[in-house]
Structure 1
Amino acid sequence: MAAESRHLRELPELKSMNLLASTSFGRLVFSQHALPAIRLVNHIVDDGAVIIRTQLAATVLAPTGTVVTYEADAIDPHTHLGWSVIITGLAEWVTDARDVVRYERVLRPWGIGDQDQVIRIRPHLIAGFELAEHASN
């Protein structure tokens, strides 16, 4: 597919969050030892926030929370068309016992080991983009 037959368009925030909710994994971007670090994790979107379970909480979060970025996408490997959503916001430990139990039931981590920490990322910035074909006239 020729580059001239496609276009990149910015998506509204609601559409972006709906797309993020439609996929089960993404990339958590945080600072580790003053350097950028990225981890592939699975997630759910609940009440406008991204929820993940991980062993990374102690690495990712300061006691008062940390600003992180989360990215998910769906790109067709043949056409290279698709979308990407990037949120930036405050990550915090989920401490309410009822919420933790509920998230543990609906969110099964992929990794091995005790992934007993639940992180909620409340987006402050939401950027969604779609690479699509130009409509035929």
Structure 2
Amino acid sequence: MTTTPPVLQELTAEEALRLMARAPVGRVVFTERALPAIRPVHFTLHAGSVVFRILADPRLAAALHGSVVTVQTDEYDADRVSGWSVTATGRALRVTDADEVARLVCHMPPLWEDAGDHVFAMTPELMTGRRVVR
């Protein structure tokens, strides 16, 4: 009996956005003190931007604001050997208008702890994705 090995297929930008919209939790990848860093984030897609929240951390907020970041999310089923991964890359800008923050966060799940938060919007300049299929 032979089994077909899984294959990686490139996703179109439209497919990548559709899949990304299904996953409210991802990872933001950024540079911290000249080193790559990754933090889990809650996010949503809104008006062409990836909007994400971080806990109140002034140092992290300063590192993110105006910087090029990547938001990555995925889904994988080990039993079926299937899944996908999507990355969106662009410049993160902190959302500071209180009304805009309130409007954006109402579409997002709550943070893991109630410690206040900062909201960022990133318009993807690069969107990539792959799907694992048999």
- After TM superposition, the score normalised by the length of structure 1 is 0.84
Structure 1 segments unaligned to the other structure (5+ residues)? none
Deviations 1:69-128 (A, max 9, x none): 110001102233111001111101012332211123222333214233111111110001
Given that residues 91 and 120 in structure 1 are in contact (C-alpha distance below 8 angstroms), is that contact kept between their aligned partners in structure 2? yes
Structure 2 segments unaligned to the other structure (5+ residues)? none
Q: Structure 2 vs 1, CA of residues 57 and 126 (structure 1 numbering), >3 Å: closer, same or farther?
A: farther
Q: In the TM superposition, what are the counterparts of 1:1-137 in structure 2 within 5 Å?
A: 4-55=4-55, 56=57, 58-62=59-63, 65-133=66-134
Q: Structure 2 vs 1, CA of residues 59 and 83 (structure 1 numbering), >3 Å: closer, same or farther?
A: same
Residue type at the aligned position of 2:16: S
Residue type at the aligned position of 1:48: G
1:91 and 1:18 mapped to 2: Cα distance?
Answer: 21
Given that residues 109 and 115 in structure 1 are in contact (C-alpha distance below 8 angstroms), is that contact kept between their aligned partners in structure 2? no
Given that residues 68 and 90 in structure 1 are in contact (C-alpha distance below 8 angstroms), is that contact kept between their aligned partners in structure 2? yes
Give how far 1:39 is off: 0.8
Q: Structure 2 vs 1, CA of residues 61 and 10 (structure 1 numbering), >3 Å: closer, same or farther?
A: farther
Given that residues 53 and 109 in structure 1 are in contact (C-alpha distance below 8 angstroms), is that contact kept between their aligned partners in structure 2? no
Identical counterparts, % of pairs = 34
Residue type at the aligned position of 1:126: M
Give how far 1:132 is off: 0.8
Given that residues 30 and 64 in structure 2 are in contact (C-alpha distance below 8 angstroms), is that contact kept between their aligned partners in structure 1? no
- After TM superposition, the score normalised by the length of structure 2 is 0.86
